[in-house]
Amino acid sequence: MIALWKRLYEHYRDYHEYGPPRLKYIGYVGLISMLGLYLVRFTRPNPHLFDDIVPRAIGIVLLVLLIVRDFWPERLRKYYIGYSYATMVYCLPFFTVLVALQRGGGMPSVSNAFIVLCFLVMLTDWRNTLVMLAIGTGLASLVYALTAPDPHVPMDMVAQLPAYAMIVIGGNLFKFSTEQIDAERKLRATQALAGSIAHEMRHPLAQLKHSLEGIQELLPPPGGGQQAALESPQVQGLYRHLAHGEQAVRRGLQVITMTLDEVSARPIDTSRFRFLSAAEVVQQAVEEYGYDTDEARDKVEVEVLNDFTFRGDETAYLFVLFNLIKNALYYLKPFPHTRVTITVGEQQVKVRDNGPGIAPEVLLTLFEPFRSVGKSGGTGLGLAYCQRVMRAFGGEIGCASSPGLFTEFTMRFPPISAEEREQHRLSAVAQARTVLAGKRLLIVEDDPVQRVATRQKLGPLALTTDMDEAPDGQVALEMLARRPYDIVLLDLRMPGLDGYAVAEKIRREAGPNRAVRIVAYTSEPAHLARAKALKCGIDGFVSKPCAQLPLLAALQQAVQQHASTSKGIAGRLAGRRILLADDSAFNRKAIAAYLRNAAAIVIEVEHGEAVLEQLQVQEGIDAVVVDLHMPGMDGLETTRAIRTAVERWSAVPVIALTARSDEPAVAAATAAGMNAFLVKPVDAVLLYETLARLVGAGVAPAPVTQPAFPPEPPPLQDGLLNIQRLESYRRLGMLDELLNDYVPEMGRLVERLRDAVDGGDVQGSIDALHSLLGMSGEAGAQALYQQVRQLYVPLLEEGHWPTGSTWLPQLQELAAQTELALKAYCAQVSRSGAA
């Protein structure tokens, strides 16, 4: 019963705690009504002038106190909402019903009752409306029965009960629908704001990620020729800070996604669920959490009573644990004795701290969205997200706390039966056996016990004749020089040549195993080893010690990632007929080169009308890749025409090309019937993946002969160019076209933009920027592309140029620098090839 009263009061409090001061306004209205209606009695003879003077005086005093809330002592203001509740009960149902009973009903009493009901409906939610009516009417009836010499019920008011009920029901239904519309409007505004904030946050995080990658390029490779430099504490510290920075960026991007999902109430994707070890995920969370200090890290400990398996998404559950750890450590400074214990066992994970605890009244609403108690800057989304994740897993989360003693969050998971676990194990082994069949594996491990254990775990794969062992790094390199392997399972910590040095030598030296898949077998946390490992060309990680299934999964993932590289996916497009539409010949040339390198058949057109013509005359078009922004019939109109046509090709997959990636652009493309969305500059691998997914595997791919590439030149470090994209052009043999066609055309587009600005031609400026955006992106001019994009999107949306007069000269200067950098790169490649 107490809990029910608290919930009712919370609904009332939430209704009046935020927004306009409704209670003060109703105080003014009530005061004027009580005084005004009383004074009206003196305008004509009235035998009941002073009958209700006492209860009316009490009501007036209560309303005056309600009005002067700003003058209340600070210590009493926390009781204002509760006081207003009692005032509303007294002044509305209690006073009105008492006076009506004392006067035996009548038309004034019936009218007053209608007014009171309308006010109650406006002032609070339906629950409290009913409760206030019940309390006020009940108390008034009791007082009347005890004080009246001959109490009786006025039948005229009883006859109006159906009308009263209709006011309460109809008024609350109308208010509910209005509040729903208002809530939907606020939700959309919140989602839009969250999306805008997320976009603004992703940009600096992406820049930070790029900077960290640049730092990684400058560091000496682990195990390389600069071993003395690598072993210095400063370089080791740089790698450690680099790992923490990259992890923070990854988690930050994931938090943005989580927040957007929570605000949008987007359901958790259950297709990503897999069987997880509770102990392993908890240990990973404790290792990867971003602690403020080493002292905070020492406050967290893990106790595994018995491990168990649950089915869920690892990333989502990591964020649940991160949130609980963050909450537990929040009061570490004022409560330095705080310790956090995470206990795993009996299908439960408990996070317990001995901090300040949580008050009982707060526990009732702890998991409601936008509830943040006692924490400045909190959004109140964290625990709501935790609850949503646990429910998606089929489990639940609860909290128990005693103020001043402890707080304990308990996550309960549905049990996985022994039959389900065994079925899962057999299925995983069978899948790994299929993927790894015929693959040659080299185990590089200096510990003979670990080598034997690893062989036993890999026994079900039947790779006995295709599995070799090397006791150290030098022997491994000798074996790799003699015969090809598909996978190397490499221990990172070995005497002599460690795993980093072995991996670096494999990638650096020409040989049959330069592209072999390398999986690190390490006791180092993956997030700490990742920066050094990626520098050496390591493809994956598996923890040591490791159970059978995670080991098989790591090897399987390494092989599948190799199959899903650009070469592997590109082979699936061989023989496919792709219709490419873009008004920029240079954009078409770059994308067409990617597709032809995948042995696809490419038909190029310049506008939407030509797309429809080609679909009509060409047989067997497998997909259409179309630019959204084209003169005449644009990409959206073209797609609508395709979808509404009663032709054999009306269901052909359509992929949008665009420089915009905001939600309205995506929504418009989806509404038009497009199947996928690619943002310029187009990444070759993403282009291959998207097309391969959409066109399926109906046509058997023809074998693709890969050209022999010349030695790769060292990358330029000026930040102007996208070296990875330029390297793809080098491999395609397109650098001459880049130098002879793209570079002059970018210069002409800048001049065209200047002429449009001088002539006050906004649309001409939009067209020039659109062409320059696609051109610079495809040409690998990343700095110019980013600058043009910052100008293009606001100009397209707002229809006017940026403020100030410096943006155009700055763009011209950047274009000139880009031209010099591209020419320097091509000259460098030419010299490298000649050497």
- The pLDDT score that the predictor gives to residue 448 is 82
CA Rg, the chain, in Å? Answer: 36
Q: Name the residue with higher pLDDT: 761 or 777.
A: 761
Q: 590 near 725, Cβ under 8 Å?
A: no
Q: 680 near 587, Cβ under 8 Å?
A: yes
- The pLDDT score that the predictor gives to residue 180 is 62
- The pLDDT score that the predictor gives to residue 825 is 81
- pLDDT tens for 705-729 read 333 333 333 344 345 777 766 765 6
Q: What is the mean pLDDT of the chain?
A: 78
Spatial distance between the Cα atoms of 835 and 825, rounded to a whole number of angstroms:
15
- From the number of C-beta atoms within 10 Å of its C-beta (0-12, 13-18, 19+), residue 800 rates as exposed
- The pLDDT score that the predictor gives to residue 226 is 43
- The pLDDT score that the predictor gives to residue 203 is 55
- pLDDT tens for 684-709 read 777 887 888 888 633 333 333 333 33
Q: Please name every residue paired with 470 in a beta bridge, in sequence order, or none if there are none.
A: 444
Q: 360, 286, 297: which is closest to 324 by C-alpha?
A: 286
C-alpha pair distances (Å), 248 with each of 103, 206, 256, 331, 540: 73, 12, 12, 22, 20
Spatial distance between the Cα atoms of 206 and 210, rounded to a whole number of angstroms:
6
- From the number of C-beta atoms within 10 Å of its C-beta (0-12, 13-18, 19+), residue 260 rates as middle
Spatial distance between the Cα atoms of 602 and 594, rounded to a whole number of angstroms:
10
- The pLDDT score that the predictor gives to residue 707 is 32
C-alpha pair distances (Å), 463 with each of 441, 460, 557, 561: 8, 8, 17, 20
State whether residue 618 is helix, strand or coil: coil
Spatial distance between the Cα atoms of 590 and 779, rounded to a whole number of angstroms:
8
Tell me: pLDDT of 565 over 70. Answer: no
Tell me: pLDDT of 450 over 50. Answer: yes
- Tell me which H or E stretch contains 543: strand 540-543
Token code pair at residue 482: 């003699």
- pLDDT tens for 531-554 read 677 667 788 888 766 777 888 888
Q: Name the residue with higher pLDDT: 284 or 324.
A: 324
Token code pair at residue 70: 């700003």
- The pLDDT score that the predictor gives to residue 630 is 84
- From the number of C-beta atoms within 10 Å of its C-beta (0-12, 13-18, 19+), residue 811 rates as buried
Q: 35 near 52, Cβ under 8 Å?
A: no
- pLDDT tens for 103-142 read 787 777 777 787 888 877 777 877 888 888 899 899 989 9
> Distance between terminal CA atoms of the chain?
87
Residue in the structure block whose two tokens are 């274009």: 815
Other beta carbons within 10 angstroms of residue 452's beta carbon come to: 12
Tell me: pLDDT of 644 over 50. Answer: yes
- The pLDDT score that the predictor gives to residue 310 is 92
Spatial distance between the Cα atoms of 316 and 431, rounded to a whole number of angstroms:
25
- The pLDDT score that the predictor gives to residue 522 is 75
- Strand 348-353, strand 340-345: pairing: antiparallel
- pLDDT tens for 166-185 read 877 877 777 766 666 665 66
Count of residues for the chain?
835
Token code pair at residue 654: 């359509």
Residues 6+ apart with CB under 8 A from 461: 429, 432, 433, 436, 552
Tell me: pLDDT of 39 over 90. Answer: no
- The pLDDT score that the predictor gives to residue 177 is 67
Return the C-alpha torsion angle 732, 734, 738, 741, nearest 10. -140
Q: 123 near 3, Cβ under 8 Å?
A: no
**How sure is the predictor about 378, in pLDDT bands with cuts at 50, 70 and 90?**
very low
Spatial distance between the Cα atoms of 97 and 22, rounded to a whole number of angstroms:
23
Residues 6+ apart with CB under 8 A from 161: none
- Tell me which H or E stretch contains 353: strand 348-353
Phi, psi (deg, nearest 5) at residue 587? -60, -45
- pLDDT tens for 647-662 read 889 989 999 987 665 5
Q: Name the residue with higher pLDDT: 494 or 782.
A: 494
C-alpha pair distances (Å), 808 with each of 132, 343, 780, 805, 820: 67, 61, 21, 7, 19
| Percent over 90 (pLDDT), the chain | 14
Tell me: pLDDT of 411 over 90. Answer: yes
Q: Average pLDDT in the 591-605 region?
A: 85
